[in-house]
Amino acid sequence: MKTEQIRFVKRYLGAALEAGCAFGMNPVVILAQAAFESGWGSSRLAREANNFFGLTAYGCSNAYWHGEKVSVKTSQYALDFRRYDSAALSFWDFARLIRNGYRSAWQVSEHPEAYAKEIAYSRYIHESNGDNREVYRQSLVQISQTITAVIQLIR
């Protein structure tokens, strides 16, 4: 495990625990997905918009996302992503989304390997964007194991 991984877990474990408790989800899988999607918190979206999950600015605002957006333009696409007032709101909004929109993944979130398979092979992943479902699944499993080890280390 690396220093930035330990820092990430220390910094965001509280947000993952709160969101997990509120929505009946394993905080380890929440942190794993945040780490994967944000490059352990190093992505521009995480740093500048508190968006740790790559959630697009699609849909209605809610208790956690108030409709603010940030545009990201690359050579391949331009998309609007959600901008959050805090990292914690990003974690809460993500857990809400998984519980409400990806029930099969949510139902098995206590088991990181089962969760990784369900989310990787759901509509959450878009192969048309170049995503590879099996690589995504394997990455979430590996990151979940790293996060579990870090949690044991810091406790």
pLDDT number for residue 25: 98
Q: For residue 3, count CB atoms less than 10 angstroms from its CB and return exposed for 0-12, middle for 13-18, buried for 19 or more.
A: exposed
pLDDT number for residue 129: 60
Give the residues of the chain that fall short of pLDDT 70: 127-130
Rounded-to-integer distance, Cα 74 and Cα 103, Å: 32
pLDDT number for residue 155: 85
Q: How many CA atoms lie within 13 A of 113 on its CB side?
A: 0
pLDDT number for residue 139: 96
pLDDT number for residue 33: 97
Q: What is the pLDDT of residues 23-62, one digit of tens each?
A: 999 999 999 999 999 999 999 999 999 999 999 998 899 9
CATH class, range 3-154: mainly alpha
pLDDT number for residue 130: 66
Query: Which two three-digit tokens encode residue 106?
Result: 């949510």
